[in-house]
């Protein structure tokens, strides 16, 4: 007698940085994985990573139900993370309505558990406080992205409760590591290539992509339904980050440290000039507001209850530097012996 076919796991957002890492880990673990694909090229990429691509979109509820047919678990890591948008409504549709559609489809398809990738930004902790699962939102938003992720998490948990869907929210801080080119990684690259001329001192929180991936998988097996888990490995200032990168690489570039008010004034000017010619500004007020506010997150609950073990930030930097070197993102090679793992 032939045994029953193992139930599938669906990954939504498998072409992204976080979703792709989760997909790779599931495939490496021998699990049969489907991945939602919006286009032919995306399907080809996902197939090449070992997943079964299925055509669909988070804004197409019917396609989600079809993709989830026969799936016991869904990882929803799709979303838009952008700043300086002239019209944030498309981002809101994907992040909020799209996430609600995922929960509704999971209810229709009889999915056992949904692991939803939220964001530590959705905590909205008050200035000067440590963001954790119990933080009360400050009542106003630093950016449109933060607003959409806050609304999305509320919507996901509400829909899950009403439709009796088992959902666990994972709230990572800034995810970094090999393959990441945006956010804090962009600052790192600009510094290494001598293009980072101005910076303001603030606090930021940091999470290795491998730890983020582990946190997602552990949330599936150990997370409490209807709850959320903050993932964060380290918190430091931008001055400390620059110092760490310099020590790790032997590269030192002069950076001018400017006060927050001057950064906001500069951002407003850049934003206004770009809007005049109908271009997306490379810098805007919500980006600077987010940077100036800074973030300090507490990821200890995930360590205690899920078993997440955080990678030392120095190790993440070394892995990332090696990846940058191998993929040609640095203008000049690192000094001999830097960016390599010690033996």
Active-site residues, by number, are: 145
Cβ-based burial of 327 (10 A; exposed 0-12, middle 13-18, buried ≥19): exposed
CA distances from 75 to 36, 160, 166, 236 (A): 10, 14, 12, 30
Nearest to residue 214, comparing CAs of 236, 229, 235? 229
DSSP 139: S
- What string of H, E and C letters represents the secondary structure of 174-230? EEECCCCCCCHHHHHHHHHCCCCCEECCCEEEEEEHHHHHHHHHHHHHHCCCCCEEE
CA distances from 48 to 53, 63, 71, 157 (A): 10, 22, 21, 33
DSSP 121: G
Instruction: Give the rounded distance of the alpha carbon of 226 from its chain centre.
Output: 20
Residues 28, 109, 115, CA angle at the centre, nearest 5°? 45
Distance between CA 191 and CA 194 in Å, rounded?
A: 5
């Amino acid at each position: 007698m032939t045994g029953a076919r193992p139930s599938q796991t669906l990954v939504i957002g498998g072409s992204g940085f976080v979703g792709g890492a989760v997909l790779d880990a599931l495939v490496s673990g021998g699990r049969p994985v489907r991945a939602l694909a919006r286009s032919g090229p995306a399907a080809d990429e996902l197939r090449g990573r070992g997943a079964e691509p299925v055509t669909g979109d988070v804004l197409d509820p019917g396609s989600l139900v079809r993709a989830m047919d026969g799936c016991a678990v869904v990882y929803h890591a799709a979303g838009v993370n952008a700043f300086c948008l002239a019209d944030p409504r498309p981002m809101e549709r994907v992040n909020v309505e799209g996430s609600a559609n995922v929960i509704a489809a999971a209810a229709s398809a009889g999915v056992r558990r949904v692991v939803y990738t939220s964001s530590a930004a959705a905590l909205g902790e008050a200035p000067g406080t440590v963001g954790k699962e119990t933080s009360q939102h400050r009542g106003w938003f630093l950016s449109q992205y933060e607003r959409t992720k806050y609304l999305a998490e509320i919507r996901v948990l509400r829909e899950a409760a009403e439709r009796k869907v088992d959902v666990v929210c994972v709230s990572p801080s800034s995810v970094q590591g090999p393959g990441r080119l945006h956010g804090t990684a962009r600052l790192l690259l600009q510094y290494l290539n001598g293009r980072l001329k101005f910076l303001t001192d603030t606090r930021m929180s940091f999470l290795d992509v491998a730890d983020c991936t582990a946190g997602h998988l552990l949330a599936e097996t150990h997370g409490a339904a209807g709850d959320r888990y903050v993932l964060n490995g380290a918190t430091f200032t931008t001055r400390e980050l620059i110092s760490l990168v310099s020590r790790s690489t032997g590269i030192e570039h002069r950076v001018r440290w400017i006060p927050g008010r001057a950064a906001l004034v500069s951002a407003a000017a850049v934003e206004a000039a770009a809007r005049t010619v109908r271009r997306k500004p490379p810098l805007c007020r919500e980006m600077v507001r987010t940077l100036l506010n800074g973030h300090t997150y507490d990821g200890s609950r995930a360590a205690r209850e899920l078993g997440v073990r955080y990678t030392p930030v120095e190790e993440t930097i070394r892995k990332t530097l090696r990846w940058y070197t191998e993929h040609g993102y640095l203008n000049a090679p690192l000094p001999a012996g830097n960016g390599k793992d010690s033996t």
